[in-house]
Structure 1
Amino acid sequence: MKKAAAGVAGLVLAASGLIAQGVTSEAPDASVKDARKVLKHEAAIPGTSWAVDPETDKLVVTADRTVKGDDLDQLKDVVDDLGDNVELEKSKTEIQPYTAGGDAIYSAERCSAGLNVIMAGNPFLLTAGHCGKTGSLWSDKQGLTIGTMVESVFPGDDYALIKYKDEGTYESAVDRYEGTQKLFTVGTPAEGMQVERSGSTTGLQRGRITGLNATVNYGNGASVDGLIQTDVCAEPGDSGGPLFSGGMALGLLSGGSGNCKVGGATYYQPLNEVFTKYNLSLPQ
């Protein structure tokens, strides 16, 4: 089990000129902040998401194929009222949380392992919060018990902590599906950053960050804010897997639209927020 866990998640320093502590982006202007508030209050419709396009500085609202009829009319009215800084795009795919990572992990659903972390001297595994509930038991692909999910946060955010059953040594490495890669630090995402993602359904995929502080409305009132948006493809089962750039860990896959045949958008829970809240560190 420890060998399997070692390949579960991780990252390494970026070789593309990125510094280890990451890069910060400019704060959105007041009009964009106000528009986000209006959308959250008046247009949190299942199948919608919004994020700032770094090339135009506009807030782009995306409606997937399930948004139609009165919901679509309402969304159009809200976007029109917000003026030229906000635009609406219609997607032919469907936004969904990707349940089923780095390496595969199993409970009621299959998800992907995010990365190994240390909290208060004990080893834990990070994954997506929508993958399971507090108290659920998790196993690896051999059926061996990994541990128990002791914290699950979803909606609002999307992350979970699984406490390992065995207090052994767990490396900070990501499964590249052609070997593993060491992870050294947790960084701050930036628009345009070249990134990679590892997941148990589609393996290693590449792309770039296309937006920050994105909001996604998955349905049944489940909205998640503050997400990283990318053009990296993913599919169900990749949920919880790590987003990284070189040796820098950035996020955990929450969900998205499309697949790895047609492409699409994917959304990630930022790791720096989780590491700060729980005083986490990476295994040395």
Structure 2
Amino acid sequence: MTSALALAVGATVAATLPAAAESSPLLNQGMLEAMQHDLGLTADQAVQRVAAETKAGTVEQSLRAALADSFGGAHFAAGQAKLVVGVTDAAKAAEVRAAGAEPRFVAHSANKLDSVVSRLNQDQAPADVSGWYVDVANNRVVVNVQPGQAAKAADFVAKTGVDRGAVSVVEAAAKNEPLYDVRGGDAYYMGGRCSVGFSVQGGFVTAGHCGRTGTATQGFNQVAQGTFRGSSFPGNDYAWVAVNANWTPRGVVNNYSGGTVRVAGSSEAAVGASICKSGSTTSWTCGSVQAKNQTVNYAQGAVTGLTRTNARADRGDSGGSFISGNQAQGVTSGGDLAAGIIYFQPVNEILGAYGLRLVTS
């Protein structure tokens, strides 16, 4: 057995520390499949629609410049596969038709509606007002407000001094919340700090000594993130966290150089192979695989089946990603920091233990 140190920061559990999609000129295979599933299109219909939309985008930009203040916005009518262009000057209709679009007379120019939005942006809206936007198809600015609170929205609009005739107040129940990505190597918190290993469907895998089952987590930004749904330490050193709807697991690892490394699978690297680690303390470090099936004796008990490396890590890197090429290898467990020896828990064992599916990109 080898005596070592687990690498969580402040954790109460430890005393110390598939296949890539094909591409096409118009849309890749993943987008094609999503359009078929979500929009109810056949493959041919999806390709034809994207081609029509691409052409419509070019025509819109051209007419926006040509019509200037007479341009009343444009939208793609999917049912007719046609670009509909608003004009405030009926004399411009022929120019729109000549460009291959369908003209529609409207009361307000796009510039005016955008200026209304800009003016609304300058004032603090009541909490019950959830947002506002230009509704191009109906040539208006829509202000959304919680049901029963229309008067508050109307008062807000009136105080800004914008043209009330260009604004519609619409009641709609809404709770807007920001969305965040789950990436390997990013920090998360649970009373201490650890690092994300790899994204799985519904969450991410990490080190078991970072938290017990039921422990709540916050993301790198200290926003509520999820809950440990499974954890094993000692004996093993693995866990998985189920994230809430505000977090999206991504098949990437933070390289701490302003970018990410994609995760394509989890084929195991051989002893001697190069390997890199991503973690929230020491960022991105690399070394090589030195041994497998290592038993490590931590103060809390022995952990078996670990892989030994010489990629540098420190407290807070626990749970972080070990990756070789674009293949996920495991999550940081601990090590002998003075000797430069770091161990990781193989990821395939974690996936199998909890029946999880690795998110790839």
When the two structures are superposed, what TM-score results if normalisation uses the length of structure 1? 0.62
Matches within 5 A, 1:1-284: 48-49=1-2, 95-100=4-9, 102-118=185-201, 123-166=202-245, 169-178=248-257, 179-220=259-300, 222-258=301-337, 264-284=340-360
Unpaired segments ≥5 residues, structure 1: 1-47, 50-63, 65-94
Considering Cα pairs closer than 8 Å and 6+ residues apart, tell me whether 1 or 2 has the greater RCO.
1
CA deviation profile, 1:160-199 (whole Å, cap 9, x unmatched): 1111111764211000001111101012232101000000
Q: Greater CA deviation, 168-177 or 249-258? A: 168-177
The aligned amino acid for 2:350 is: V
The aligned amino acid for 1:182 is: R
The aligned amino acid for 2:306 is: L
SS at 1:172 equivalent: strand
The aligned amino acid for 2:278 is: S
- The 2-side partners of 1:115 and 1:213 are apart by 21
Question: Percent identity at matched positions?
Answer: 38
The aligned amino acid for 2:294 is: A
The 8 Å contact of residues 189 and 228 in structure 1, kept in 2 or not, is answered as no
The 8 Å contact of residues 108 and 132 in structure 1, kept in 2 or not, is answered as no
SS at 1:130 equivalent: helix
The aligned amino acid for 2:272 is: G
The aligned amino acid for 2:351 is: F
The aligned amino acid for 1:195 is: I
SS at 1:171 equivalent: strand
Shift of 1:279: 2.7
CA deviation profile, 1:248-283 (whole Å, cap 9, x unmatched): 000100000126xxx510011011112223332222
The aligned amino acid for 2:352 is: T
Structure with greater helix share of residues: 2
- The 1-side partners of 2:313 and 2:326 are apart by 21
The 8 Å contact of residues 204 and 241 in structure 2, kept in 1 or not, is answered as yes
The aligned amino acid for 1:99 is: A
- The 2-side partners of 1:274 and 1:258 are apart by 25
- The 2-side partners of 1:106 and 1:181 are apart by 23
The 8 Å contact of residues 133 and 152 in structure 1, kept in 2 or not, is answered as yes
Shift of 1:131: 0.5
Q: Which structure has the bigger radius of gyration? A: 2
- The 2-side partners of 1:145 and 1:97 are apart by 25
Q: What is the number of residues matched between the two proteins? A: 185
The 8 Å contact of residues 243 and 251 in structure 1, kept in 2 or not, is answered as yes
CA deviation profile, 1:195-248 (whole Å, cap 9, x unmatched): 00000000000000000100100114x110010000111100000001111110
- The 2-side partners of 1:141 and 1:135 are apart by 19
Moved over 6 A (4+): none
SS at 2:348 equivalent: helix
The 8 Å contact of residues 225 and 246 in structure 2, kept in 1 or not, is answered as no
